[in-house]
């Protein structure tokens, strides 16, 4: 059935609606874009892991005095962001990292 076959038919509106809904299926990310997004997240997490080891590991590693890596990874995204941005000791590393590196650090901690 096409929408313009029989406009006076009782099933005309139903048929047109069915065709429109079928054409408007769920939006899916194209495979290439999905792969690129996944690759970007993996890269950010790897960069974040390096940032953590270099800038945070001394205090938040196995022998550190701050909350452990496992404790930090257990925080929600919002709590994690707040913990980094409002680090309790002024002048510590998180206050000196640019926003993109903080984002990479958070990506790593959210893995």
Q: 77: domain CATH number?
A: 1.10.760
What is the arithmetic mean of pLDDT over 1-23?
56
Q: Is residue 2 part of a domain?
A: no
pLDDT at 33: 66
Residue 6 forms part of a structural domain = no
pTM of the model: 0.59
User: How many whole angstroms from its chain centre is CA 45?
Assistant: 11
Higher-scoring residue by pLDDT: 4, 34: 34
Distances from the Cα of 107 to the Cα of 37, 52, 102, angstroms: 13, 11, 9
Total number of domains in the chain = 1
Segment 22-45 mean pLDDT: 62
CA angle 10, 6, 2 (to 5 degrees): 105
Instruction: Name which of 20-34, 38-52, 58-72 the model is least confident about.
Output: 20-34
State mean pLDDT over 23-39: 61
Domain that holds residue 75: 35-109
- Give the separation between CA 3 and CA 11, rounded to whole angstroms: 10
Rounded distance between C-alpha atoms, residue 89 and residue 93, angstroms: 9
**Per-residue model confidence (pLDDT) at position 84:** 83
Whether residue 14 is contained in a domain is answered as: no
Query: C-alpha angle with apex 85: 49 to 67, nearest 5 degrees?
Result: 60
């Amino acid at each position: 059935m096409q929408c313009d076959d029989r406009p006076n038919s009782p099933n005309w509106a139903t048929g047109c609606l069915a065709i429109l809904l079928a054409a408007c299926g769920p939006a899916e990310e194209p495979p290439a874009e999905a792969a690129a997004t996944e690759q970007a997240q993996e890269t950010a997490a790897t960069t974040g892991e390096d940032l953590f080891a270099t800038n945070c590991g001394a205090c938040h590693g196995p022998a550190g005095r701050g909350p452990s890596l496992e404790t930090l990874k257990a925080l929600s995204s919002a709590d994690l962001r707040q913990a980094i941005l409002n680090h309790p000791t002024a002048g510590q590393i998180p206050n000196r990292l640019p926003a993109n590196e903080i984002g990479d650090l958070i990506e790593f901690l959210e893995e």
